[in-house]
Structures are given as structure tokens and as C-alpha cells.
């Protein structure tokens, strides 16, 4: 494992003032986004929207890296260059989603376990050759009356740790993403407890596998009220509880915490991140690795029409600048 190279990549991704664009929606998920516009889920449309974002002039001022889906890393842009080459020419580091999605977990009704470890070492080696320098694996933890189960939290932490170690051995900085979902009606206190439990389990597993923490990044949920909670708390409380939870669980050797937006609106995701940094943050850089919260306005501004590319780029750059 080349520890120094991993550390340099992780620091470059978590550099102050910049964050990550998560443009790694799987093909079915991208289909849902396009369906919002009444558009078919075609490779050409997926490429055009993503290429529009990746060629936004000046994006490198606030975007340090972009997470791609396998299809995109292999797609040629309209000028024939590969997508990784386009990003590199913008001064942006290409990354890749390597998990195989969250699937129903055996003997755990209502819960999911992320797949994709079997051929991961081979895939990481190929992705490195194709230009990727970091990768991402998302685990899903669902809160319910009796969920999550200990088996689900442990199995997902173990898979994240195996993934992180395999990635580092292949020269890729692993983004470790245990997402405690905000679906449901649970309180922020319940989200805090489950997030604390999950992160403690994940960091124990990472230590067990000999993962080099300065060459990793964490992509967590914020500690937040569920979407349908009766008493959704405000921005300051989300920021305070999230920081408290992270300080209790995430070792300072981790260089950056890059939040997912998880269904928050664009404005909420920006306000929460700002409030956390305004209160002094923590021993790590605190930034973003947003998908929907960076792309939603841009998607609507584009609308499937290449004549609107400049407007879509402007919408994307606006969110990137506010989050940066």
C-alpha cells in the first residue's frame, strides 16, 4: 500500500473550500432523474447531462473530485475524450462508485447489505488504469421501530472495511459511506444513536482490517430528523448534534468528512454544512459529496435540451460555489 500517495489524494479531495460532486447514480437511479423531466433513460442523455456538468468552466474552484458510475468512466465525451480525461483537464480528480448496490439482506427483513466484494480487487485495478484515484462504497442503514439489527450494522461495517482495504491496496482512496437513512418518522435523537452506533462499528472494522485512515474519507449522513418526523429540528440543532456525534466517533486521523445530502433540499444541505463550519468544525475538513443537492436545479435547467447547457452549468456552479 502506497500510504503517501493515498494521503496526498485524500488531502487534495478534502482541501478547504472544495467538495465532491457525486454523479455516480446507477443507470436505474439516473432513469428516475430523467423521468422527472419526462425523458427516456438513454445512454446519450445520461452522457450529455454529465458532460455538461463536467465541462462547467471554473468548476475546479469548488469541486475537487467527481464520483462516476462505471458507464460514465467508459463513455467518450462529444469531443472524443474520455470523461476522466475531461475531469483531469479541469483539475478535478476522477473517482468511481464500486459497490454493487444495496440488496435485501438474508434473515433480516426490511434491511439491506451492499454487494460487490467478489471481484473488487480486479475492478479496482482496472479503474486505476482508467484514471480513477478514489472510489466509493455506500452502505444503507434503515431506522424502524425494531431496526437496525445488530447483524445489519455489523455486516455492512465489515463490507465497508473489506472494500476500504482492497481499494487502498489498489491505490484508490476509499470513501467510506455508511448512510443512516432519513426515511420514516423517527426523531433526531434516534438518528443520533443509530449514527453513533454505526460509526463506532465501522471504525472498529476499519482498524481490524488495517485500513490506513489518513488515506480515507468518510461520507456520512447528517444527524437529522426523519422526513416525516412530527418535530423536525432546525439548522443549528442539526449542526450541533452532527458535530457532537462525529467528534465522539470519527478519529482525527481521517482527513475529511464529506457529507451526503440524502434527500435534503439543496438549500438545507448548504445551510447545514455552513452552520457546522461556522461553529468551528472539528479536527477534520468538513465538506460535501452531494448528489441531488448539487444537481437538482441543474437537471431542471437542462431539461434534456443541449441548448440549455449554459444555464445548467450556471445552476450547478451556483450550488458548488455556495457549498464551497
Rule CB under 6 A: which residues touch ligand 13P?
Answer: 22, 24, 138, 177, 260-262, 290-293
Neighbours of 17 (CB within 10 A): 12
Residue with cell 427483513: 109
Phi and psi torsions of 179, nearest 5°: -100, 115
Around 92, how many Cα atoms within 13 Å sit in the side-chain half-sphere? 29
Task: Report the alpha-carbon angle 3-172-85, nearest 5.
Answer: 125
CA 134 – CA 156 distance, rounded (Å): 20
Q: How far is CA 104 from CA 109, 113, 163, 260, in A?
A: 8, 6, 19, 22
Contact between 69 and 130 under an 8 Å Cβ cutoff? The reply is: no
CA 98 – CA 160 distance, rounded (Å): 11
Q: Which residues, 6 or more positions from 308, have their beta carbon under 8 angstroms from its beta carbon?
A: 301, 302
- Sequence-ordered alpha helix ranges (H) in 108-209: 120-129, 150-169, 188-208
Q: What is the DSSP letter of 141?
A: E
User: Would you name the residues annotated as active-site residues?
Assistant: 177, 219
| Smallest gap from residue 323 Cβ to ligand 13P (A) | 11
| Smallest gap from residue 8 Cβ to ligand 13P (A) | 23
CA 168 – CA 211 distance, rounded (Å): 8
Q: What is the DSSP letter of 90?
A: T
| Smallest gap from residue 41 Cβ to ligand 13P (A) | 18
Phi and psi torsions of 63, nearest 5°: -120, 120
Amino acid at each position: 500500500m502506497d500510504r503517501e500517495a493515498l494521503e496526498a489524494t485524500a488531502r487534495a479531495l478534502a482541501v478547504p473550500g472544495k467538495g465532491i460532486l457525486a454523479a455516480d447514480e446507477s443507470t436505474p437511479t439516473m432513469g428516475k432523474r430523467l423521468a422527472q423531466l419526462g425523458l427516456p433513460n438513454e445512454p446519450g442523455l445520461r452522457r450529455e447531462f454529465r458532460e455538461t456538468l463536467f465541462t462547467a468552466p471554473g468548476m475546479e474552484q469548488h469541486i475537487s473530485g467527481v464520483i462516476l458510475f462505471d458507464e460514465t468512466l467508459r463513455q467518450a465525451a462529444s469531443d472524443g475524450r474520455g470523461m476522466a480525461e475531461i475531469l483531469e483537464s479541469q483539475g478535478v480528480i476522477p473517482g468511481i462508485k464500486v459497490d454493487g448496490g444495496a440488496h435485501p439482506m438474508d434473515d433480516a427483513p426490511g434491511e439491506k447489505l451492499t454487494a460487490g466484494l467478489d471481484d473488487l480487487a480486479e475492478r479496482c485495478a482496472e479503474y486505476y488504469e482508467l484514471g480513477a484515484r478514489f472510489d466509493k462504497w455506500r452502505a444503507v442503514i434503515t431506522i424502524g421501530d425494531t431496526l437496525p439489527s445488530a447483524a445489519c450494522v455489523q455486516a455492512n461495517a465489515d463490507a465497508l472495511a473489506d472494500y476500504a482495504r482492497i481499494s487502498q491496496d489498489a491505490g484508490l482512496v476509499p470513501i467510506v459511506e455508511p448512510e443512516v437513512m432519513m426515511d420514516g418518522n423517527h426523531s433526531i435523537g434516534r438518528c443520533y444513536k443509530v449514527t453513533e452506533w454505526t460509526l463506532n462499528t465501522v471504525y472498529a472494522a476499519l482498524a481490524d482490517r488495517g485500513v490506513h485512515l489518513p488515506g480515507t474519507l468518510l461520507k456520512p449522513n447528517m444527524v437529522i430528523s426523519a422526513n416525516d418526523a412530527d418535530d423536525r429540528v432546525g439548522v443549528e440543532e442539526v449542526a450541533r448534534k452532527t458535530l457532537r456525534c462525529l467528534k465522539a466517533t470519527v478519529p482525527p486521523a481521517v482527513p475529511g468528512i464529506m457529507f451526503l445530502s440524502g434527500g435534503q433540499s439543496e438549500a438545507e444541505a448548504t445551510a447545514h454544512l455552513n452552520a457546522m463550519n461556522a461553529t468551528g468544525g472539528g479536527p477534520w475538513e468538513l465538506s460535501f459529496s452531494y448528489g441531488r443537492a448539487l444537481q437538482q436545479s441543474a437537471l431542471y435547467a437542462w431539461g434534456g435540451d443541449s441548448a440549455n447547457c449554459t444555464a445548467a452549468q450556471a445552476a450547478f456552479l451556483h450550488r458548488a460555489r455556495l457549498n464551497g
